Amino acid sequence: MKTIAEIVKLGPVIPVLAFDSVEQGEHVSRALHAGGVKVLEITLRTPAGLDAIQRASQLADDIVVGVGTITKPEHCEQAKRAGAKFGVSPGLTKELHLASLDAGLPLLPGVMTPSDIIQALEFGYEIVKFFPAQQAGGVPMLQAFHGPFPALKFCPTGGITVETAPNFLKLPNVVCVGGSWLTPKAALAAQDWAEVTRLAQAASQLPR
């Protein structure tokens, strides 16, 4: 089982995905993988989430599928049974932390404030998700966090685009970014999987 530290090294961008159907999820997952993306975050924002995780997990040996939008303790065990290799949450509670441990699901917990960060550190986390990144202060906020929390690493997610991603990735406390720009609504509606692959290739080549 890979740790969060190992997973975030697999690519500069983790696509944040929400699928209307399992079939759409399979097409998109294949297209992203073809573009060099090895890590997927499939969220529970739609009913297709868990089944899409199960399907995507079986597509290739080198694909690492995680579950996003974990907001309830039971989500951890459900995602683990579906084949998820890690979890991502928008926030962190003691209950979520313990549930992830019980399920054996490595967790990338969300933080937004110094108090959130201190709680995450108390629970032993060394890498966290900064969410919603752009709306919560973006690059300047992460630069400010580096002073009091020099050892903590971040995966900023929320409002990041292909244009702004490099500004985050060059920060010393950022290990990768999460983004939904790899799956634009127009491409999904047109089933333009080649466009998804093109965007994945560009994202995979971002420097960090």
Active-site amino acid positions:
41, 129
Q: How many CA atoms lie within 13 A of 70 on its CB side?
A: 34
d(CA 139, CA 134): 8
d(CA 172, CA 161): 19
CB-count exposure of residue 167 (10 Å: 0-12, 13-18, 19+): middle
CB-count exposure of residue 93 (10 Å: 0-12, 13-18, 19+): middle
Residue carrying structure tokens 């983790």: 14
Backbone angles phi, psi at 179, to 5 degrees: -155, 150
DSSP class of residue 174 equals B
Q: Which helix (H) or strand (E) holds 35?
A: none
